[in-house]
């Protein structure tokens, strides 16, 4: 029996400017391994070009999850870019391989940038379904993304 759709979101102000984050994440995601090496170890292009619909990119990253009292690290996912909308400053990836698919299905991760009251915000959304009702929701990924965005901003400011 399929579980109900689930969603996690985080919205973080990005003082450097939303365009900077959008261009970095879309066109140069491999730089995240230099900016936050403890979090992202690699971002390798498998097919197509970065930020182009239909491209396949493998992310190798480390985020601690706690499953049934045991520490668990999510080391890699292969994603397929399905939306790159420069006008909306949005990019979406469907996870097609990797460790997250052991716990979740129909995983779609979206980043978009918007300006509210003169402040640029990066919004991260993860839509997914639990494969098993006992599986935990991947809330550790929310903290991971918030830290990643803050560390990226600090790196750009030279802090």
The pLDDT score that the predictor gives to residue 75 is 58
pLDDT tens-digit readout, 121-152: 999 999 999 999 888 898 888 888 999 999 99
pLDDT digits (tens, 9 = 90+) for 15-63: 988 889 888 988 899 999 999 988 888 888 888 888 888 888 888 888 7
Residue 86 pLDDT level (bands cut at 50, 70, 90)? confident
Q: Please state the domain extents for the chain.
A: 6-157
Quick check: 74 pLDDT over 60?
no
Distance CA 67, CA 159 (A): 34
Of 26, 148, 29, 141, nearest to 88 by C-alpha is 26
Superfamily of domain 6-157: START domain (3.30.530.20)
Calculated CA dihedral for residues 11, 106, 71, 139, nearest 10 degrees? 20
Q: What is the C-alpha to C-alpha distance for residues 92 and 25, in angstroms, rounded to an integer?
A: 11
Nearest to 120 by CA among 8, 16, 9, 10: 16
Answer yes or no: are the C-beta atoms of 72 and 62 closer than 8 Å: no
């Amino acid at each position: 029996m399929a579980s109900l759709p689930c969603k996690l979101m985080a919205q973080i102000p990005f003082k450097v400017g939303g365009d900077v984050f959008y261009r970095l994440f879309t066109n140069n995601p491999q730089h995240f391994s230099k900016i936050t090496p403890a979090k992202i170890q690699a971002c390798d292009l498998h097919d197509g070009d970065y930020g182009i619909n239909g491209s396949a990119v493998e992310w190798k990253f480390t985020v601690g999850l706690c499953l049934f009292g045991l520490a668990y690290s999510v080391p890699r996912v292969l994603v397929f870019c399905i939306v790159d909308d420069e006008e909306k400053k949005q990019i979406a990836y469907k996870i097609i391989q990797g460790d997250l698919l052991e716990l979740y299905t129909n995983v779609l991760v979206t980043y978009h940038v918007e300006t509210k009251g003169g402040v640029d915000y990066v919004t991260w959304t993860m839509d997914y379904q639990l494969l098993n009702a006992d599986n935990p929701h991947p809330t550790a990924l929310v903290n991971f993304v918030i830290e990643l965005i803050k560390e990226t901003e600090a790196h750009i400011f030279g802090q």
